[in-house]
């Protein structure tokens, strides 16, 4: 079985994001970029399934600028086998991403697709669900445990009420939660090896997918800032303030 894993290049999760003065977007010049965190969990899960003897090839797909190759290389250094980059504008919407993924599935025919549950830049949380609907494959979103059996899989999902288990037929698509696993670090020899692994470069155009934006950014603005409050000296003062000043208890 082949596993297709999608990875997105985003501003590193430790970076304090700043809005540009002209409200056209956020500052990306000289900002550290990394793999979207839950995508790392998706890569890790694919590696574990392969190590368990249930898959024989892991393909990493990224969609966006030329530089997304770095993100693909990171996944290859973790142990994935080869990469595909579909060149597109960096602001591509989930609707178009899902169409491109579905297109790749036609030729690669994976038995499983793993994605991160949400990208930490646009926080859309859409691509896995859209891809599932396009392919008419079962979806297992917000997965915190995946157990592959013969022709089915048992997936534990993190939902607002707690945990839910569903049984899905293969092939299926899972969106991975941060609690699914602990992603490994790439070792130096593996980083060297990853440099020789192939990355196939395609474009949205040659795949015949229209990626025109449907949503227009009118402006990107700073959220209202909170004033720093006061430090109290002890618990008694805190309770007094909450009772008589803020009047919330």
Partner 1 sequence: MSILILAEHNNAEVKSSTLNTISAASKVSNEIEVLVVGSNIQRIAKEISNYQHVKKVLLLDDQNFEHAIAEKIDPVIVSIADKYSHIFAPATTFGKNVMPRVAVKLDTAQISDITNIENENTFVRPIYAGNALATVKSNDTKKVITVRPTSFDIVAKEGGSGVVETINFNLSEGHTEFVDREESKSDRPELSTARIVVSGGRGLQSADNFKLISDIADKLNAAIGASRAAVDAGYVSNDYQVGQTGKVVVPDLYIAVGISGAIQHLAGMKESKIIVAINKDEEAPIFNIADYGLSADLFEALPQLSSELDKLNSIEK
By CB under 8 A, what part of segment 46-105 binds partner 1?
Answer: 93-95, 98
**Cα distance between residue 106 and residue 102, in whole Å:** 7
Q: Which stretch binds partner 1 (CB under 8 A): 48-56, 59-67, 103-111, 225-233?
A: 225-233
Q: How far is the CB of 194 from partner 1 (least distance, A)?
A: 28
By CB under 8 A, what part of segment 166-205 binds partner 1?
Answer: 166-169, 172, 177-179
**Cα distance between residue 152 and residue 100, in whole Å:** 25
Quick one: tokens of 63?
A: 């969609």
- Phi, psi dihedral angles at 75 (to 5 degrees): -70, -35
DSSP type of residue 151: S
The reply to whether 219 sits near partner 1 by the rule CB under 8 A is yes
The reply to whether 32 sits near partner 1 by the rule CB under 8 A is no
The reply to whether 248 sits near partner 1 by the rule CB under 8 A is yes
DSSP type of residue 26: B
**Cα distance between residue 240 and residue 246, in whole Å:** 9
**Cα distance between residue 115 and residue 143, in whole Å:** 10
The reply to whether 106 sits near partner 1 by the rule CB under 8 A is no
- Up-side HSE of residue 185: CA atoms within 13 Å toward CB? 2
Q: Which of 126, 145, 197, 207 binds partner 1 (CB under 8 A)?
A: 126
By CB under 8 A, what part of segment 133-152 binds partner 1?
Answer: 133-134, 137-142, 144
The reply to whether 21 sits near partner 1 by the rule CB under 8 A is no
Q: Which of 72, 101, 130, 180 binds partner 1 (CB under 8 A)?
A: 130
CA separation (Å) from 34 to 1, 177, 205, 206, 227?
28, 17, 26, 27, 31
The reply to whether 24 sits near partner 1 by the rule CB under 8 A is no
Q: Which stretch binds partner 1 (CB under 8 A): 44-52, 103-111, 126-134, 184-192?
A: 126-134
Strand, coil or helix: 199: strand
Q: Which stretch binds partner 1 (CB under 8 A): 57-65, 68-76, 107-115, 232-240?
A: 232-240
Q: Which stretch binds partner 1 (CB under 8 A): 10-18, 28-36, 40-48, 75-83?
A: 10-18
């Amino acid at each position: 079985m082949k596993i297709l894993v999608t990875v997105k290049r985003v501003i590193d999760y430790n970076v304090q994001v700043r809005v540009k003065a002209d409200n056209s977007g956020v500052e990306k010049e000289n900002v550290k970029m990394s793999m979207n965190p839950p995508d790392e969990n998706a890569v890790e899960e694919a590696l574990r399934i392969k190590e368990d003897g249930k898959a024989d090839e892991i393909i990493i797909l990224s969609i966006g600028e030329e530089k997304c190759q770095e993100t693909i290389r990171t996944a290859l250094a973790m142990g994935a086998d080869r990469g595909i980059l579909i060149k597109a504008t960096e602001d591509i919407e989930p609707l178009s991403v899902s169409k491109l993924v579905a297109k790749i599935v036609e030729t690669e025919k994976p038995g499983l697709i793993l994605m991160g549950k949400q990208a930490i830049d646009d926080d859309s949380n859409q691509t896995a669900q859209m891809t599932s609907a396009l392919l008419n494959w079962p979806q297992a979103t917000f997965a915190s445990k995946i157990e592959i059996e013969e022709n089915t899989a048992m997936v534990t999902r993190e939902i607002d009420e707690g945990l839910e288990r569903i049984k899905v037929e293969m092939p299926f698509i899972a969106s991975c939660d941060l609690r699914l696993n602990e992603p490994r670090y790439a070792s130096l020899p593996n980083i060297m090896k990853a440099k020789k692994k192939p990355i196939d470069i395609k474009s949205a155009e040659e795949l015949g997918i229209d990626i025109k934006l449907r949503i227009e950014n009118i402006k990107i603005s700073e959220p209202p800032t909170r004033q720093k409050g006061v430090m109290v000296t002890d618990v008694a003062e805190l309770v007094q303030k909450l009772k008589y000043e803020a009047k919330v208890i």
